[in-house]
Structure 1
Amino acid sequence: MAPDPALLQQLVMMKMPFGKYKDVVLCELPVSYLEWFQRKGFPKGKLGMLLETMLVIKMNGLTHLLDPLKKGLR
């Protein structure tokens, strides 16, 4: 099963809308921050799903999947 390209695109474009890392692109959030959400509860809706996806990507060493999308933004 291949990852959803639209979802991956959102991870490299969408910025965190609040908190300590406000305005940081989701794919650049540190694992410790994503783990905090895991313990406390991810936000509801699309943002929570994206943050949880980013945690899974980072914890499984799959950040290379985002590299071509990041390069396309430059």
Structure 2
Amino acid sequence: MNPEDLERLVTLRMPFGKYEGTLIADLPGPYLNWFAREGFPEGQIGRLLQLMHEIDHNGLSELLDPLRRGE
């Protein structure tokens, strides 16, 4: 993980699927768990989904609050 990835979690939106358009940081835990079971996509989006899954799974989502802008 690099520090820029944390910023990306609160600025990039899910580009496909049921939650298309939702910020990566706002994806529900069960959706992230589904990816963990079925496999994360390749590339940056997969890396970010995996990171968000770890953050959510460990109850650390509030740590992203200071990075959010204008919310």
Distance in 1 (CA, whole Å) between partners of 2:8 and 2:38 is 23
1:25 Cα offset (Å): 0.2
Residue 57 (structure 1) shift: 0.2
Q: Which residue of 1 aligns with 2:57?
A: 59
Amino acid paired to 2:4: A
The runs of at least 4 aligned residues of structure 1 exceeding 6 Å deviation read none
Q: Which whole-Å CA distance do the structure 1 matches of 2:2 and 2:64 have between them? A: 12
TM-score by length of 2: 0.92
Displacement of 1:23 in angstroms is 0.3
Identity of aligned residues (%): 49
3-state SS, counterpart of residue 13 of structure 1: coil
- What does 1:28-47 correspond to in 2, within 5 Å? 28-47=26-45
Match of 2:21 in 1: 23
Contiguous gaps of at least 5 residues in structure 2: none
2-side partners of 1:25 and 1:64: how far apart? 15
| Structure 1 unaligned regions, length at least 5 | none
Bigger radius of gyration: 1
| 1:10-50 deviation per Cα after TM superposition (whole angstroms, max 9, x unaligned) | 00000000000000000000000001111111000110010
Residue type of the partner of 2:58? N
